Structure 1
Amino acid sequence: MEFRVIQGDIATERADALVNAAGTSLRMGSGVADALRRAANGPIDEEAVSNGPVDLGDVAVTDAYDLDADHVIHAAAMPHYGDGRATEESIRTATRTTLEKADELGCESVVVPILGTGAAGFDLETGARLVCEEISNYDAESLTDVRVIAYSESDYRLVRDVANRCRSS
Structure 2
Amino acid sequence: MEFDVVRGDIAERSADALVNAAGTSLEMGSGVAGALRRGAGAEINEEATEQGPIDLGEAAVTDAYDLDAEYVIHAAAMPHYEDGRATAESIREATRNALETADELNCRSLVIPALGCGVAGFDLEDGAAIIGEEIDAYDPSVLEDVRFIAYSEGEYDAIRAATGRAERSETAGSSEFDP
- On whether the aligned pair clears a TM of 0.5, the verdict is yes
Deviations 1:11-45 (A, max 9, x none): 00000000000000000011000000000024100
2:124 and 2:154 mapped to 1: Cα distance? 11
Match of 2:36 in 1: 36
Deviations 1:55-86 (A, max 9, x none): 00000000000000000000000000000000
User: In the alignment, is the contact (CA less than 8 A) between 2:5 and 2:165 conserved in 1?
Assistant: no
Stretches of structure 1 that go unaligned for 5 or more consecutive residues are none
AA aligned to 1:89 is E
2:42 and 2:53 mapped to 1: Cα distance? 20
Deviations 1:88-134 (A, max 9, x none): 00000000000000000000000000100110010000000000000
How big is the shift at 1:153? 0.5
Q: How does 1:114-125 map to 2 (within 5 A)?
A: 114-125=114-125
Match of 1:6 in 2: 6
Stretches of structure 2 that go unaligned for 5 or more consecutive residues are 167-179
Percent identity over the alignment? 66
AA aligned to 1:125 is E
AA aligned to 1:4 is D
AA aligned to 1:160 is R
**What is the alpha-carbon root mean square deviation over aligned residues?**
1.4
Match of 2:27 in 1: 27
Match of 2:176 in 1: none
1:111 and 1:64 mapped to 2: Cα distance? 13
TM-score (norm 2): 0.91
Match of 2:132 in 1: 132
Match of 2:103 in 1: 103
1:119 and 1:163 mapped to 2: Cα distance? 21
Match of 1:86 in 2: 86
**Is 1:157 aligned to residue 141 of structure 2?**
no
TM-score (norm 1): 0.96
Higher helix proportion: 1
Aligned structure 1 segments of 4 or more residues deviating by more than 6 angstroms = none
How big is the shift at 1:165? 6.6
Q: How does 1:38-53 map to 2 (within 5 A)?
A: 38-53=38-53
